[in-house]
Structure 1
Amino acid sequence: MKPAAEGVIAALVERGLTVATAESLTGGLVCAALTDVPGASAVVRGSVVAYATELKASVLEVDRELLARGGAVQEDVARQMAVGVCRVLGSAVGVATTGVAGPDPQDGQPVGTVFVAAALEDDVVVRRLALAGDREAIRLQTVTEALACVTALLG
């Protein structure tokens, strides 16, 4: 995970971009991975941990009807979280995580269903993941995939 975070920080510094995270199931782990890299303060703006569905709407401005129709574990929710955190924290790049780490299914989705997203202006990359393992493994895999999503966006 550390090499991936280092790569993201280096790419952001090189391009003169800032980043913020909007996290649900990872509870701040993506931001923690980024801020573990020396020099991260030059590009990391902060994080919104919107664990509760209501916070996704009230803080990150995810569409309330979308959340009411299908819950928090959806591709469009991840997309809107990534875009929303850019607005809320004033960053160029937003990265978002939403999904089910377990132990129980949520919003009709099985454990291991995760969406990660990265946004830069009008360009948004969203990935649907079907992860295996226990709660900790799913959360750590999500961090790795979220960082990979940012790397793909910055490509």
Structure 2
Amino acid sequence: MEYPQINIKLLSEEDRELVKQAKQRAEDLRLTFKEFVLDCIRNALVEESPNSADSATAAEIEALKVQIAALSEKVSIPSATKTEVHTLQERVNQLRVGISNEIKKDREQLASLALALSRLESQIEQLVPSLNLQVDGEVNSNSDGDWLFGEDSGAELPLT
């Protein structure tokens, strides 16, 4: 299947300026240049009267409308300006850095908590052997069975 193609040479400065303005207008409307040109052709065909001597026949106009509709379906890819894409890229990078910083903070907090837990476990392990615990209902060798005395720690802990 052959696809129609339009090749136009624009030799005058006025024509080049017109294309420049059309491209800017297409960007303002968030259309590709191709979409914009097709819309202009479509609008011109709708405004054109098929009864005038210089115009194409109604059948040719309908055929062109069908071709334009087919091309429009193929050109339905959304477009964005370079500025919009650049802004989105910057925002994504900012979010990536923010997330990385939050992860780093969380890791630092977890490391700090793990260190604190490790220190607590170590201190508990040091306290356990120094306590004279009651075993199987027997009271330790101290005369006061309600209190446990740690010889190394110097602390008195009530037995509950």
TM-score (norm 2): 0.20
Larger Rg computed on CA atoms = 2
More strand by share: 1
TM-score (norm 1): 0.21
More helix by share: 2
